[in-house]
Amino acid sequence: ETGVTQTPRHLVMGMTNKKSLKCEQHLGHNAMYWYKQSAKKPLELMFVYNFKEQTENNSVPSRFSPECPNSSHLFLHLHTLQPEDSALYLCASSQQTGLAGVDEQFFGPGTRLTVL
Amino acid sequence: AQSVAQPEDQVNVAEGNPLTVKCTYSVSGNPYLFWYVQYPNRGLQFLLKYITGDNLVKGSYGFEAEFNKSQTSFHLKKPSALVSDSALYFCAVRGRNFNKFYFGSGTKLNVKP
């Protein structure tokens, strides 16, 4: 395992529901990411947090709301989603060292989300 | 703008034969390039990266990649494919923003016995 866990692994929700995805990394990294993976499309970066501060919001609709209470935990709060939001949501972490190095990302197994 | 292209949706190889999964990139400045593999129901796993130095990079599970600056390519290779190599492979480039990575759409590798 990569040291990044995600819960739940599968989620089915209606368009009016509110749910949250959870990610936890046990690697001591300082950056965490949310990605959306849809079939035959590039991974879409959604949000980036560095030292608990959001540093990137890739024009994500407001029905997706991230939260990073500390460097080890990342949440994605979902409300009034659309069927086209059905996808695999991946969390990742990395150690950002700036110009000193370029570190790879470690990914969780993902949450398979289905919006009815 | 930074981007990565994987021109093949699928690559089919017989076990024991060499394999190549193609990737081309577009980036301003020095490219930092990565390959990841995804097995079914799993997240992406890091295989190798190019930062600087030798154009041939060796990674996990016997994979290697060749960086070619003139052709802006970073193709993934393995001398002898295994059935267990069958998976989805992603190429990625890190942008000028240290936190931002750009991924390709993935190439499905099928290795047949």
**Is the confidence at residue A55, as pLDDT, over 90?**
no
Higher pLDDT, A27 or A100: A27
User: Mean of the pLDDT values across residues B44-70?
Assistant: 93
- Residues of A within 8 A of B105 (CB-CB) are 40-42
Q: Do A98 and B46 count as a contact with CB atoms less than 8 A apart?
A: no
Q: How far is A104 from chain B (nearest CA, A)?
A: 7
Residues 6+ apart with CB under 8 A from B15: B81, B82, B83, B111, B112, B113
pLDDT of residue B28: 82
Q: Do A105 and B103 count as a contact with CB atoms less than 8 A apart?
A: no
What is the percent of chain A with per-residue pLDDT over 70, rounded to a whole number?
Answer: 93
Around Cβ A1, how many Cβ atoms within 10 Å? 10
Residues 6+ apart with CB under 8 A from B107: B6, B8, B9, B10, B11, B21, B22, B88, B89, B90
**Chain A contact present for B90, CB below 8 A:** yes
Higher pLDDT, A70 or A1: A70
pLDDT of residue A37: 94
Q: How far is A63 from chain B (nearest CA, A)?
A: 22
